[in-house]
Structure 1
Amino acid sequence: MSLESLHATITDRLGRLERPVNRPLLIGVDGCGGSGKSTLAEALKASCPSPVTIVHLDDFYVPPAELDRSRPESLPVGADFDWRRLKREVLDSVLGGADGKYQRYDWGTERLSDWHEVPACGTLIVEGVTSTRLELAPLYDLTIWVDCPREERLRRGLDRDGEEARGRWAAWMAAEDRYAQSHKPMERADLVVEGV
């Protein structure tokens, strides 16, 4: 599906939704690492006439000091990302008509860093792996799963992060497999699109 036809499909789908006018339209864009979630979110932002805010789930990564990742198979599904903080600081706020505010995770310092505000108007796109997990999916007006073959995702990831990140990508992909199997985001999505 081209971005133009995807935008038309999304616009049509959103036009049929009933929602309060005192909060932003909420769109969740989920998919495994390297599938094209960020690219899709940016394309949607560029094609929307109303103000669009994008929140990246990567900003909610749990700092290493707060989570023992030595045995990833023993962690709860999606433990790398603090979905509770996303819900509390962003989604619950904007659903209640108030601006959201959150601290972004800094991948260089491995700590929470700058504060970001999320206006309670226009359209809010939350993109990232686990963004439409079972606990969050009911909050969105529209959910999208970006599907992409595993080999292509790994290629994209290593192109971006370098060959030295292969081990990290293997661990991430195993965690994403657990998420996809237990939460079934692709099966529950309002729209499934091919990776962009």
Structure 2
Amino acid sequence: MPEPTVDELAAYVLGLPPRLGATRLVSVDGPSGAGKTRFAAMLAAALACPVVHTDDLLDGWDDQFTFWTRLEELVLGPLRRGRAATYRPYDWGTGGFTGPPVTVPPAPAVLLEGVSAARREVRPELTLSVFVDAPAQLRWERAIARDGDDSVAYRKYLERWRAAEDRHFAADATAAHADLIVDGAHGRITQGW
């Protein structure tokens, strides 16, 4: 069977029942630098839906997996009740939640993108989960290029981040529970369609 287009995938998602109240919550998960943001942007454009980036809800580097209460209270809870969600994104430059407010309407579909977006706690409410991966060296190069920081301090943060996400994905079995696996190096679905 040929690989689906993003438009076909969007039509498929909209044909599935909502599981977060009246919203079809779609997660795009995977390790840093894998291509999650790019894939989520393409799918969100096809769905004409908002994207919530988990990085916007982290309180810095040390909040990699402990931000979930904030996500639940500010985003998932309101959407589940059919209300708009509003949050201030974290500003990585100033180190606080100082960005302009982001409002996410209770749309027919909403994408949740970022490391741990398809974690065990949210799986029952996901309409579709996508896991994006790419070779480790490519992911490293993308992270350095994306953040524009090749300093020793940044590399230590990134190494710690990657080790923590590896432990998380192993313990959570995220990829094994994903509906689709996407090869982030080539931008194509490799499993699940």
* Deviation (angstroms), 1:20: 7.3
SS at match of 2:33: coil
CA pair 97-148 structure 1, distance change in 2 beyond 3 A? same
Tell me which of 132, 147, 151 is aligned to 1:146: 132
Corresponding position of 1:61: 58
Instruction: State the secondary structure of the residue aligned to 1:142.
Output: strand
* Deviates most, 30-39 or 105-114: 105-114
CA distance in 2, matches of 1:95, 1:60: 18
Aligned ranges 1:102-121 → 2 under 5 Å? 102-113=87-98, 114-121=100-107
Following the alignment from structure 1 to structure 2, what is the Cα–Cα distance between the partners of residues 117 and 6? 25
In structure 2, stretches of 5+ residues that fail to align are 188-193
1:117-176 per-residue CA deviation (whole Å, 9 max, x = no partner) reads: 110123210100011111122221111000111111001111122311322211111011
Cα distance in 2 for partners of 1:167, 1:10 equals: 38
Q: For residue 137 of structure 1, what is the aligned residue in structure 2? A: 123
- Aligned in 2, Cα 1:3/1:154: closer, same or farther, shift over 3 Å? farther
97, 110, 127: which one pairs with 2:82? Answer: 97
The answer to whether 1:159 aligns with 2:148 is no
Corresponding residue for residue 8 of structure 2: 8
Q: Measure, in 2, the Cα distance between the counterparts of 1:150 and 1:132.
A: 20
State the TM-score, normalized to the length of structure 1. Answer: 0.82
Pair 1:168–1:21, CA change in 2 (3 A): closer
Distance 1:3 1:62 in 2: 38
Distance 1:116 1:3, change over 3 A: farther
User: Is contact 1:14-1:142 (8 Å) kept?
Assistant: no
SS at match of 1:135: helix
CA 144–7 in structure 1, closer or farther in 2 if over 3 Å, else same = farther
Supply the AA of the counterpart residue of 1:55. V
**C-alpha offsets along residues 83-122 of structure 1, whole Å, 9 cap, x if unaligned?**
1111121112111111111121111110112321110123
* C-alpha displacement of 1:46: 2.1
Structure 1: 5+ residue stretches without partners? 70-74
**Count of aligned pairs:** 180
How far off its partner does 1:184 sit? 1.0
Give the counterpart letter for 2:80 in structure 1. L
How many angstroms apart in 2 are the aligned matches of 1:90 and 1:180? 23
Deviation at 1:22? 6.9
Aligned residue identity for 2:69: R
Deviation at 1:7, TM superposition (A): 4.2
